[in-house]
């Protein structure tokens, strides 16, 4: 992995690393993230590398931040929470819907074997792909398209995570989940806020849904979304 250095000076890089440590300790471990794999991944991935330079000083605030095309990079706590909720294993193949900056895909890639990430906006898909390649996240594949249809070519997936709010769970995602697989997705009847749910595939025909917490994501737009 290419080491990432910010601002060209060791001081600036050191200060961001310190803020990353504090963010992990206070906002993640301090708020109940227990998975050591998730904590390690969040310690390792430099969030500043996924946001515009003028926002670097806010890289480790526990907030979503704006990226291109009116979209957002999610709040670190929510990235960690959703990643933990996926109950990942090292050999898992994961599908992420909503690549955005590529940050959450990078975090996932530190834990599992392969991440397929789908983004509907061509410009974001291209820049995330270039960024992930440059930073050395070689087990992430970014696809451009409507993620409400999943990505059937590489199905089934051990885990699927959707990082945009859907009106209901898109059926193609259920079909592309492996038996025993977990789908974590924000759903709700209005585009502004959602309930985060985890759907577990029990067998060929049965799924079990658990409600996790209230969240606020940009809308999932597509054939089976808004
Ligand atoms: N995971 C991202 C990150 O780490 O930066 C944050 C994702 S942002 C909150 C939601 C993303 O979902 C946006 O980039 C948006 O364009 C994308 N999106 C919305 N509808 C989509 C769809 N049907 N298929 C794929 N991506 C979609």
Output the pTM of the full model.
0.95
Separation CA 42–CA 83 (nearest Å): 10
- Residue 39 has a pLDDT of 98
What tens digit of pLDDT does each residue of 136-159 get?
999 999 999 999 999 999 999 999
pLDDT band at 205 (very low <50, low <70, confident <90, very high): very high
Q: Is the pLDDT of residue 126 over 50?
A: yes
Ligand 1 binding site (Cβ under 6 Å of any ligand atom):
71-74, 97-98, 100-101, 103-104, 118-121, 124, 146-148, 163-164, 217-218, 220-222, 225
Q: Is the pLDDT of residue 3 over 60?
A: no
Q: Whose CA is nearest to atom 24 of ligand 1?
A: 147
* Domain boundaries defined on the chain: 64-215
Chain-centroid distance of CA 61 in Å reads: 17
Separation CA 213–CA 198 (nearest Å): 10
Question: How much is the average pLDDT of 91-111?
Answer: 98
- Residue 6 has a pLDDT of 47
Rounded distance from Cα 120 to ligand 1 centre (Å): 7
Q: Is the pLDDT of residue 68 over 80?
A: yes
- Residue 11 has a pLDDT of 67
The CATH number of 64-215, from 3.30.565.10, 3.40.50.150, 3.30.390.30, 3.40.50.300, is 3.40.50.150
What tens digit of pLDDT does each residue of 158-183 get?
999 999 999 999 999 999 999 999 99
What tens digit of pLDDT does each residue of 212-224 get?
999 999 999 999 9
33 CB-side CA count, 13 A? 27
Q: Whose CA is nearest to atom 19 of ligand 1?
A: 220
Q: Is the pLDDT of residue 118 over 60?
A: yes
């Amino acid at each position: 992995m290419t080491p990432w250095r910010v601002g060209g000076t060791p001081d600036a890089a050191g200060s961001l690393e310190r803020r990353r440590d504090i963010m992990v300790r206070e906002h993640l471990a301090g708020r109940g993230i227990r998975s050591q794999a998730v904590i390690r991944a969040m310690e390792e991935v430099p969030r500043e590398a996924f946001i515009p330079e003028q926002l670097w000083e806010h890289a480790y605030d526990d907030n979503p931040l704006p990226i291109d095309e009116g979209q957002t990079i999610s709040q670190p706590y929510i990235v960690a929470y959703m990643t933990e909720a996926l109950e990942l294993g090292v050999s898992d193949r994961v599908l992420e819907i909503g690549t955005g900056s590529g940050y959450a895909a990078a975090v996932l890639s530190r834990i599992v074997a392969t991440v397929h990430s789908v983004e509907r906006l061509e410009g974001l898909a291209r820049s995330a792909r270039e960024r992930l390649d440059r930073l050395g996240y070689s087990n992430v594949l970014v696809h451009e398209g409507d993620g409400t249809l999943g990505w059937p070519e590489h199905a089934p997936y051990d885990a699927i995570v959707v990082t945009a709010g859907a009106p209901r769970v898109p059926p193609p995602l259920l079909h592309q989940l492996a038996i025993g697989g977990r789908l974590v997705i924000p759903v709700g009847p209005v585009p502004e806020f959602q309930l985060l749910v985890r759907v577990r595939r029990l067998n060929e025909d049965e799924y079990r849904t658990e409600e996790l917490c209230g969240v606020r994501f940009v809308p999932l737009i597509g054939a089976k979304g808004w």
